[in-house]
Chain A
Amino acid sequence: MFKYLKQLTSLVAMVAVLFTFTTESMAAKKSKTLKNTQKKGFVRCGVSQGLPGFSNADAAGNWTGVDVDVCRAVAAAVLGDANKVKFTPLSAKERFTALTSGEIDILSRNTTWTLSRDADIGLTFVGVNFYDGQGFMVRKSSGITSTSQFKNGISACTNIGTTTELNMRDFFNSRGISYEPVAFEKADEVVAAYDAGRCDTYTTDKSGLAAQRTKMKNPDEHIVLPETISKEPLGPVVRQGDAVWEDIVRWSLNTMIEAEEYGITSANADSMKTSENPQIKRLVGAEGEMGAAFGLDNEWNLRIIKQVGNYGESYKRNIADTGILPDRGPNQLWTKGGILYVPPSR
C-alpha cells in the first residue's frame, strides 16, 4: 500500500509541475503588466489634477472625463468592470516619472505626443483621443481679439513641464515679441494668478483653456483667441517594453472610436451581436477570436462598449454636454468631416 502511495505522490507532483509550467507560460505570454493588473484587481491610471471634460473628480471622488474613459475601457476589457480603476492625480512635472517608475500603468492625462517624448524617455504613445492645439486666453475688456495685437512686455501665465512652454517661446520669438513667462507647477495656481490679473494672457491647449475658463470667478469676462499656434495630439501613454499591454490600451481606445463609426452604442451593443455586418460582429465579440492575442476573452470589446460607451458617447457626456467644447471640430469621425480614423479591428 505504501509503495503505491509513493508512486501516486510522485505522479501528482509531476502533474502539478506540468500544470504550473503550462499556466506559467500562458501568463508569461500575456504580459507582466496585465498579469499584475489582474492580480491586483484594478487598473492603475495616472490622470490630471482636475481638468473638466478630460479628468476631473467630483466632490464624492468619482472621476469623469474622456481621458478617464480610456482607463475605464481598459478596466472593462481586462477586469470585466469599468469601475475597477485606481486614479492617481499627477502634475505635468510628475507624470512621466510616475509611469516609468511603475507607479501607474497607463498615463491618460491630456499628454501631447511628440517625437522626443516617444523616443527618449522610455514611453510609448498608443494613439490620440483628442486632437488639440495651443491657444491664448485674454480678458475681454483688454480689447484684444487676435494674437497679432500682442505687444512687447506682455506677461503669459502657463504650466511648467509642458510643450506649452516651448511653443510659447517659438511663437513669441518668431514674431519678435518680448514676453514674461510666469510658469506654475499646478494648473489651479495658473488660473488663480491669471484671474487675479498677474498675467495679460493665459496659454495652454485650447481644450484646457475652455475647461479652465469654467473655473474662473467670472467666465464671461474671458475669451479664447481664434489662433491655434501648435498641433497638440493628446493621447494615452504606456511604459516601453510591454508590447501586449501597449496593444491592449491601443485597441481599447480604437474600439471606442470604431464602435461610433459603426453606430454601436452602450444601449444597443448586445443586440448588435446578431448583426449581418461581420465588422460589427467582430466589435461585439460575436465573430473571430479578437481577444486571444492579448490573452483576453472574446467579449472584451463588447464590455468596453457596454460599460463605457463609444467615443461619441464619451465626448458628448464629458465635453459637449458640460458646455466646454460643444463643437467636436477635428475630433469628429473621418466619415463626418473630422480626422478621427483608426485601423480596423479584424
Chain B
Amino acid sequence: MNFKLKDIGPQLMTVIAVVLVFGFFTYNAQVNMENRGIDFGYGFLSQESSFDVQFSLIEYDGSHSYFRAYLVGLLNTILVSVIGIILATILGVIVGIARLSPNYLINKFAAFYVEFFRNIPLLLQIFFWYFAALRALPLPQDAEAMFGISYLTIKGLYVPAFIWQNFNIFFYSIVAAIIAIIVIRTRAKKLQENEGKQTPVLLISIGLILILPLLSFLIGGVRLSFEIPVLKQLATTSFIYEGGVSLPPELIALALSLSLYTATFIAECVRAGIQGVGKGQKEAAASIGLTPNQVLKLVVMPQALRIIIPPTTNQYLNLTKNSSLAAAIAYPDLVLVFAGTALMQTGKAIEIVSITMFTYLSLSISISLFMNWYNNKIAITEK
C-alpha cells in the first residue's frame, strides 16, 4: 500500500474537524457546568427515585432507584413499540393488498384510509384518540360489559386475568408442539423435493397445537381459571374495577394512533412490493397450473418481500421513535419517566439526555440489525 497525502488529506482533515468540534462542545459544557456549580456524574442512578409511575411491567415504586425507573420507562417504550409494530404490520399488509383489489369499493376505501391518516400530523392523531375518544368512553359505573367479562371505560380497559395452575406443564406442551411441527415441516419439504409427495402439513400442525395443550389439561394437572373485574365504589360517583388486568387508556390511545399512522406507510411499501413483481411472473405461474393462492404464496410474495422489507424497516424505526410522543398523553414511556420526571427531580440534564439518546439509538440499531438479517435470509441465493 502506498498512501499519498493527497489521498488521505481530506479524510484526515475531516476527522480532525469532527474531533475538534466535539472537543469544543465537551470543553464548553464542562466550563459552563463548573461555573454554575453543577456536578457531572451518573451516581444518581442508584439513588432512591421517590416518585411513582402509573403503569409498569416490572415491580416498581418510589422506593426503587432511578435506574429501575429507567428500566420501567424503557420497557414501556418497548411494549408500545412492539404492539404498534405488530398491529401496523397486520393492518398495513391488509390495506396494501386491498389497494390492489379489483373491487372498486375496497380499493377506494383503502386509498382513502392511506391518504387520510398519513397526511395528518401524528401528534394531532394521538390527541384525537386520547381526548376525543376518552370523552366518548363511559365512566366505569356506566360501562356495558363486553362478553360479560370485559369493560372498556374512561379509566381503561379491564379484562379478566388468567390464574394458572401448573402453568409450566402447559408451556412445555406448547414448546413440544412447536418443535414437532418444525420437524414435520422439514420432513414434508424433503418428501416433496425427493418423491413429489404432498403432506397435509397445515392440518397436522393445527392438530398438534390443539391436542398437546389439551392433553396437558386432561392428564398434566393444568388448571385455568379467570379473575373477572368487579366494580368497586370509591365515592358517591367515583368507581373503578378491581381484579383482572387493567390497560390504561393512554397505552390504548398511543398504540392505536401509532399503528393507524404507520400502517399507511407500510401499506404503500406492500403495494409497491407486489406491483414490483413482473406481470410475466404471475402469468407464468398461472400457466403451469398453480392456483391464485399458490401464485401469491409461492411466486409473488417471496419476490415482493425483498422490495418490501427495507422500507418497512424504516417505518418500524419511525414508529419506535414516534412512541416518544407518549409524553403528551401521560403514557409513562422512557421520555416521560426518565427524560421527564427523573430529569426534573435530579437536574442531571446532560447525563439523562445522553442516556436517553443512546437508548433510542440502541433500540433503532437492534431493530435495523434484525431486519437486515431477515432481509439477507430471504434475499436471492445465487446458485
Contacts and interface: CB of A to CB of B under 8 A. Distances in A.
Interface string A137-154: 011011110000111011
27 contacts: A93-B340, A93-B344, A96-B344, A97-B349, A121-B347, A122-B33, A122-B37, A139-B238, A141-B237, A142-B236, A149-B235, A150-B234, A161-B340, A161-B343, A161-B345, A169-B51, A169-B52, A182-B54, A182-B248, A182-B250, A183-B330, A184-B330, A185-B336, A186-B328, A196-B131, A200-B238, A241-B36
B72 to A, nearest CB: 13
Given A122-B33, A162-B344, A183-B330, A151 B234 contact: yes
A198 B51 contact: no
A196 B330 contact: no
B96 interface: no
B111 interface: no
A139 B349 CA distance: 37
Given A96-B344, A154-B234, A189-B328, 11 more contacts: A92-B344, A93-B340, A120-B38, A121-B347, A141-B236, A143-B235, A143-B237, A182-B250, A183-B54, A185-B336, A196-B135
B242 A122 contact: no
A194 to B, nearest CB: 11
Nearest to B154: A197
B50 interface: yes
Contacts of A142: 234-238
B129 to A, nearest CB: 13
B354 interface: no
Contacts of B371: none
Given A161-B343, A196-B131, A198-B134, A181 B52 contact: yes
A29 interface: no
Interface in A228-262: 239-241
A341 to B, nearest CB: 29
A342 interface: no
Contacts of B242: 153
A239 B214 CA distance: 68
A241 B35 contact: yes
Nearest to A100: B36
B344 A189 contact: no
B134 A200 contact: no
Interface string B221-242: 0000000000010111110101
Given A155-B155, A196-B135, A93 B343 contact: yes
A200 B336 contact: no
A169 B54 CA distance: 12
A200 B234 contact: yes
A320 interface: no
B332 interface: yes
Contacts of A143: 235-237
A80 to B, nearest CB: 29
Contact of A122 (B38, B134, B328): B38
B205 interface: no
A14 interface: no
A160 B54 CA distance: 12
> Which 6 residue pairs of A and B lie closest in terms of their CB atoms, listed nearest first?
A121-B347, A161-B344, A143-B236, A122-B36, A142-B235, A122-B38
Interface in A177-203: 179-186, 189, 192-193, 196-198, 200
A166 interface: yes
B238 A240 contact: no
A183 B329 contact: no
Interface in B59-116: 61-62
A239 B347 CA distance: 13
Contact of B36 (A153, A162, A240): A240
Interface residues of A, number: 49
Q: Which of B54, B344, B346 has the most CB of A within 10 A?
A: B344
Would you call the interface of chain B mostly helix, strand, loop, or mixed?
A: mixed
B181 to A, nearest CB: 42
Contact of B341 (A179, A182, A183): A183
B285 interface: no
Contacts of A185: 327-328, 330, 336, 340
A116 B346 CA distance: 8
B53 interface: yes
Nearest to A197: B154
A117 interface: yes
A183 B336 CA distance: 9
A100 B36 CA distance: 8
B273 interface: no
Nearest to B55: A180
B249 interface: yes
A66 to B, nearest CB: 23
Nearest to B36: A122
A160 B336 contact: yes
A173 interface: yes
A181 B341 CA distance: 12
Contacts of B238: 139, 142, 144, 154, 200
B48 to A, nearest CB: 11
Q: Which of B51, B343, B349 has the most CB of A within 10 A?
A: B51
B295 interface: no
B139 interface: yes
B54 A181 contact: yes
Nearest to B341: A160
A93 B336 CA distance: 10
A262 B37 CA distance: 38
A244 to B, nearest CB: 15
Given A117-B347, A149-B235, A183-B330, A169 B62 contact: yes
A141 B248 CA distance: 24
A165 interface: yes
Interface string A119-138: 01110000000000000001
Contacts of B344: 92-93, 96, 160-162
A182 B330 contact: yes
A198 B37 contact: no
A145 to B, nearest CB: 10
A50 B250 CA distance: 24
B41 to A, nearest CB: 12
Contacts of B53: 181
B347 A198 contact: no
Contact of A166 (B50, B154, B329, B343): B50
Contacts of A169: 50-52, 61-62
Interface string B200-214: 000000000000000
